Amino acid sequence: MNLLTLSGVHTHIGAYHILHGVDLAVPAGQVTMLLGRNGAGKTTTLRTIMGLWRASQGSVRFDGQAIGGPAGQRSTPEIAQLGIAYVPESMGIFGDLTVRENLLLAARHARSVEQMDTVRLEWLFGLFPALKKFWLHPAGKLSGGQKQMLSVARAMVEEQRLLLIDEPSKGLAPAIVGNLIAALRELKSTKTTVLLVEQNFGVAKALGDFVAVMDDGRIVHSGGMAELAADESLQQRFLGLSLGAHQ
């Protein structure tokens, strides 16, 4: 069953036509990778799903109900209330606030730390130990990798039905990327549905169940991640990758 579907979605940003009839299906309980070269339209797709940019044509449907497009556009807060969380490439954390305050702000059903789900919080600490270590530190003083962990943890602090994550490994050292993969694998084991934009093909291979490849604002390939990972000619055709350089 598909939890999220985009059908014929076009998105304009000012005078620019970015998405050109995107058709995308995101199966429930799976990790779908959204791959493509820089400028292909991946971030615009995530922002259109969240209602941050409005689809000028087509439809975005979540669990069977319209949430985007001219016939059924919902606001971003309404979309978030349905259980969709977005981790932007810019991380979206508040640098002047502590780690604790950042997580509390993301916990919509808690007005104080005491009201937060302590079992889930301890689970997050297990995934991201630095968050517990720097609990009372300003988020702006964390390292780049720690900020990225906090950004992902903010989206996970309450149970979500769908996570949209934009290039979580970008700019991170290989060891930190390994930690991030381990944490996202743990999340994957909970059967949370994830749509993940990623440039690192190694991350995509490690996490993806399904894959959609974008080019020039369109989906040009979709299928199983294992199929793409095993076929160097497909990688070269759709992503311009050399298998030897992307182990």
* Inter-residue contact 202 to 247 (CB < 8 Å): yes
Structure confidence at residue 241 (pLDDT): 62
- What is the pTM assigned to this prediction? 0.90
Tokens of 82: 């349905």
Q: Give me the mean pLDDT over the 170-176 stretch.
A: 84
In this predicted structure, what is the pLDDT of residue 243? 42
CA distance 121 to 103: 9
pLDDT exceeds 90 at position 47: yes
pLDDT above 60: residue 245: no
CA distance 212 to 17: 20
In the prediction, which pLDDT does 244 show? 42
Dist. CA 234–CA 95, nearest whole Å: 41
Q: How many CB atoms lie within 10 A of CB 72?
A: 13
Mean pLDDT of 146-152: 91
Strand-by-strand arrangement of the 84-87 sheet: 84-87, 162-166, 193-197, 31-36, 210-215, 218-224
Give pLDDT tens digits for 19-37. Answer: 999 999 999 999 999 999 8
Residue 246 has pLDDT above 90, yes or no: no
- pLDDT tens digits along 75-123: 999 999 999 999 998 777 899 999 999 999 998 888 888 889 899 999 9
Domains and CATH numbers, the chain: 2-83+161-245 (3.40.50.300), 94-159 (no CATH)
Q: Is the pLDDT of residue 157 over 50?
A: yes
Q: What mean pLDDT value characterizes the chain?
A: 92
The residues that bridge with 9 in the sheet, in sequence order, are 22
Residue 61 confidence (pLDDT) above 90: yes
